Structure 1
Amino acid sequence: MLDLCLPFLLALTGAQASPVAVATSPCPRLLAGTARWSDPTTWPGGAVPSVGECVVIPAGKTVWLDVTPPPLGGLSIDGELIFACTDLELRADRIAVAGKLEVGSEQHPFHRRATLTLTDDFACGAEHQALTVDDGGVLRLIGEARPWSWMQLEQHAAPGSSQLVLERPSGWRAGDRVVVASSDFDAHQAEARTVTVASGAVLLLDQPLVHQHFGEHVGRNVDGIGVDERTEVGLLTRSIVVRGTPVADAQGRVHGGWVAARRTTATPRVEIAWTAFEDLGVEGLEDR
């Protein structure tokens, strides 16, 4: 299965961690004429969508997602769906965007918790566990920017230790998930933990480490420079998460969710920042 958070984290930040300017804009205001998901008058028949329903937001209509809806069979967004500034989860077998799906924006990054869960529970179409953006559709997922996405250890972290001493204060918080990279040739010695206490450059973890993680410059006392072999520590927590639901087929191969931007008549637009992708793809199959 594919978790895109860590590869993107390492690929996009480059070789050296640098601070990110953190936006603190307030939530956008509800514009006049915008319908609320929770309002029965928003929907045909005067009833809020129920479990397993195949929902359509028609072109020309904007809906404000102000509540977590029940699990849906499918959601076709031909108009606009905008997440309100509160903790929300949208669960559906298929989310098809031909209009606009917006969770945060450049002016108003999403500071709460938003989860888009792709499921395989109902039968609203041939595509399951799918988030698709088609023919001029807009997908905008702009999460809360954090000052640092990764940094390095300042001291060794020994097996059995539940403490990390970083090179500088990180601004990370209790409850954040972090990953401590491997210091060994064995990449499987990377370890994910939850921060229980964050105080300056020191993090306390929910579980002791199993492996040794190096935290010093080698040979600095010889030439004043040395070789920087300090272990990287990455922040996994994102305010927006897109995740699949792992399901094994008859051959035992695990299938997760998938995300695609597809052009037939017009080019779709996808804007993503500070968003995690989890449990996507098909085990053993490339490009999916």
Structure 2
Amino acid sequence: MSLIVRLRWTRVSAPLALVALLASALVGRAADAPLLRSKQSGPWSAKETWDAGRVPAAGDRVVVRAGHAVAYDADSKDVIRLVQVAGTLEFARDRDTRLEVGLLTVTYGEEPSEEGGDCHAVPGPPKPGAPRPALLVGTPEAPVPQAHTALIRLHHLPGMDKDSCPAVVCCGGRMEFHGAPLSRTWVKLAKTVPAGATSAALAELPGGWRAGDRVILTGTRQPGGAGRGPFEDGCQTEARVLTGIDAPVAGAGGPKGTARLDAAVTFEHYAEGSYCGEIANLSRNVVVESADPAGARGHTMYHRHSAGSVSYAEFRHLGKKDVLGRYALHYHLCGDTMRGSYVRGASVWDSHNRWVTVHGTQYLIVRDVVGYKTVGHGFFLEDGTEVHNVFDRNLGAVVSPGRPLPRQALPFDQNKGGAFWWANCLNTFTNNVAADCAEYGFKFECRKTADFDPVLPVRQADGTVKKQDVRTLPFVKFENNEAHAMRFFGLNLRGITRPDGFGSQKSFYDLNDLLRADAAGAHPDARRPFWVKNFRVWESNWSVHAGTSGVFLDGVDVFRAEYGIWRSVMDRHTYKNISFKEIRNKDLHMPFSIGAPAAEDETGKEYFRGIPGFVDNIPPSTVVTSVVRSGGKVLVRGGTADSSAVRGVAVNGKEARATRDNFAEWEVELDAPAGKLTVTAGATDRAGNVEKTPHTVTVD
């Protein structure tokens, strides 16, 4: 298409006219792109599938119409401008596939649209039994086999909005990404890997790792000291390529296997006793990536009333730097409509904007995910309304500082770089590791400001919504987490944000009054303190920092750090099983008090008697993650989270079997006659709390 431009300049309007004309021309390119619609179900590569009588080619816009199932069987370098799925697009599992595309959307609409972020109209709940649009890159029951790959490469094309495109977006449909499973996505090192070594001894033998896989060895030294020099210059996390995995010698003790590397490591990776670095696998056979990481990057997004999950898929070179809502993997304002969805075993690396973002979404399970290299917080809960999500056994390494995003929900967040960041504790954080972070391993941040009120609508156990001060809500569980190689904070609970003028002591003192005031303005229930259990932090600066009353540190192990517990509000705190070893400065540095209310006595509701008074008054939360039929049986799997011990999980009245401690994962086999089946799962804990809103799913 040629474009001839003739302009009559005026002093004021000419620049605006030029902008408008060029914008119009770019939009015209999109509108003029050839449009192909499916006319029947069939293979992508068959011309009979398409109304134009030909196979989609470079520059085309493609619509898979409702009621049509198209099998994507191509391995093509042609860049398709738009693929809009109103029917079903399913990637082949018997061959390698590749889709090069500008925008891939899963939506009920058949009118082509290039909006790459916000859905024009998010539909309500799907009608029972009604088909929904679906993108299937593997399924939970039938992932893409290890022998094959499925690749989606995202390209920015002329005329597309750089703040929205390229992208993969699900608007109320079903979107699945499932690659070949790994037994573990990351494992601990069995012994120290010295600088110059080309192999690493492993504490576990991970199944599914293969020669050619990308791996990282996490840093085990505090990066760059406290604020000295650029963060990235001090990181010691290293990427290598795996050349093989050696199994242990039969009958021999010691390591469970050895990873062989393509090149010698530059740094030592420490692993002695309880303090061990990690090796993680980044490679998966289902991949979503940006075609031009140095240019306009892509992003992915689930919207409300969508369905689908992610397992053992790789998301690389995604995330739009400094753009709100354009993250590598993003659950956007889904509420509880995606209960049952999960992100398991994925790798998200080299992101310019988060790894996994949970925004206004409940009941999501994020498990066994490896995050490597991001700008700004990695595992991120965005607006303070998120509850009953589970973050379990994830690894986050190399989090670089970002800056506040335009129009962000929480104005106080400086986006300085934490592996795990949240503003509402009513979630589960278990068995996670943070390494090599610019600012925080784990950060709970929420405060009242002139432009933000922390009293927010929060989903209750009975399914209703109630406004609560989210600064005071307890953890469902925070247990067995670890941070190492932290430039500043290992764990920061509602504490200060480090001032940019770090070298000035006065800047810290200036923050004390603000910290006291915010802590005094919101106390957790004395019966439900912020319970931190079995937290390990090593090679850090400020290991633990609390800016709130009502904290129970129940097992904290600090090793080779500048400080143990640093500059914390200590009212109504209880400490148990605290260990400090090789602390370079002070075990306990500058504790201070907000002062007890003058009218308080030992009967007052704010009086903190210690942890023996802990009360579990919140029911468990259960998620059904899988329902698989086989003959006349159905295997149901899921997970349950609770603050205390779970007594049991009942599925259609039958007790489930725990496959991990405390029913974190469980399964049960049921009789399943032909036809539609409704499955209801709910839990009871040992405190007698019965789940008020069990999870119910219906399958054909």
Task: Confirm or deny that 1:181 pairs with 2:218.
Answer: yes
Amino acid at match of 1:104: G
Task: Confirm or deny that 1:42 pairs with 2:49.
Answer: yes
- Provide the rounded CA distance (Å) in 2 between the counterparts of 1:170 and 1:271: 23
- Comparing 163-172 with 56-65, which one deviates more in the overlay? 163-172
- Provide the rounded CA distance (Å) in 1 between the counterparts of 2:258 and 2:79: 40
Q: CA deviation at 1:247?
A: 5.8
Q: CA deviation at 1:255?
A: 3.8
Structure 2 counterpart of 1:12 = none
Alignment of 1:218-233 (within 5 A): 228-233=274-279
Residues 95 and 131 in structure 1, CA contact (< 8 A), matched pair in contact too: yes
Alignment of 1:65-214 (within 5 A): 65-69=72-76, 70-85=78-93, 86-98=95-107, 99-111=133-145, 112-123=148-159, 127-134=164-171, 136-171=172-207, 172-186=209-223, 188-200=235-247, 201-214=257-270
- Provide the rounded CA distance (Å) in 1 between the counterparts of 2:297 and 2:80: 17
1:104-147 CA deviation, whole Å, 9 max, x = no partner?
1121111221111111135478842111111x311011221111
Amino acid at match of 1:177: R
- Provide the rounded CA distance (Å) in 2 between the counterparts of 1:41 and 1:125: 33
Structure 2 counterpart of 1:28 = none
Q: CA deviation at 1:246?
A: 4.0
- Provide the rounded CA distance (Å) in 1 between the counterparts of 2:161 and 2:60: 12
- Provide the rounded CA distance (Å) in 1 between the counterparts of 2:283 and 2:201: 19
- Provide the rounded CA distance (Å) in 2 between the counterparts of 1:42 and 1:174: 39
Task: Confirm or deny that 1:258 pairs with 2:294.
Answer: no
Residues 255 and 281 in structure 1, CA contact (< 8 A), matched pair in contact too: no
Structure 2 counterpart of 1:244 = 290
- Provide the rounded CA distance (Å) in 2 between the counterparts of 1:259 and 1:75: 14
- Provide the rounded CA distance (Å) in 2 between the counterparts of 1:276 and 1:93: 18
- Provide the rounded CA distance (Å) in 2 between the counterparts of 1:55 and 1:277: 24
- Comparing 208-217 with 237-246, which one deviates more in the overlay? 237-246
Q: CA deviation at 1:169?
A: 2.2
Instruction: Return closer, same or farther for 1:164/1:247 CA change in 2, 3 Å cut-off.
Output: closer
Instruction: Return closer, same or farther for 1:210/1:125 CA change in 2, 3 Å cut-off.
Output: closer
1:130-182 CA deviation, whole Å, 9 max, x = no partner?
11111x31101122111111111112111111111111322321111111111
Residues 156 and 296 in structure 2, CA contact (< 8 A), matched pair in contact too: no
* Secondary structure, aligned partner of 1:270: coil
* Secondary structure, aligned partner of 1:189: coil
- Provide the rounded CA distance (Å) in 2 between the counterparts of 1:102 and 1:77: 11
Task: Confirm or deny that 1:281 pairs with 2:290.
Answer: no
* Secondary structure, aligned partner of 2:89: strand
Residues 58 and 78 in structure 1, CA contact (< 8 A), matched pair in contact too: yes
Task: Confirm or deny that 1:52 pairs with 2:69.
Answer: no
Instruction: Return closer, same or farther for 1:125/1:209 CA change in 2, 3 Å cut-off.
Output: closer
Instruction: Return closer, same or farther for 1:233/1:286 CA change in 2, 3 Å cut-off.
Output: farther
Residues 137 and 268 in structure 1, CA contact (< 8 A), matched pair in contact too: yes
Q: CA deviation at 1:262?
A: 2.7
Amino acid at match of 1:76: Q
- Provide the rounded CA distance (Å) in 2 between the counterparts of 1:213 and 1:35: 52
Where do 4+ consecutive residues of structure 1 move more than 3 Å? 122-127, 245-248, 284-287
- Provide the rounded CA distance (Å) in 1 between the counterparts of 2:213 and 2:318: 22
- Comparing 167-176 with 191-200, which one deviates more in the overlay? 167-176
The structure with more radius of gyration: 2
- Provide the rounded CA distance (Å) in 2 between the counterparts of 1:81 and 1:66: 10
Structure 2: gaps (5+ residues): 1-39, 108-132, 224-233, 248-256, 327-700
**TM-score for both structures, normalised by structure 2:** 0.33
* Secondary structure, aligned partner of 1:140: strand
Residues 64 and 82 in structure 1, CA contact (< 8 A), matched pair in contact too: yes
Question: Percent of pairs identical after alignment?
Answer: 27
Q: How many residue pairs align between the two structures?
A: 237
- Provide the rounded CA distance (Å) in 1 between the counterparts of 2:89 and 2:200: 41
* RMSD (Å) for aligned C-alpha atoms: 2.0
* Secondary structure, aligned partner of 1:41: helix
Amino acid at match of 1:239: N
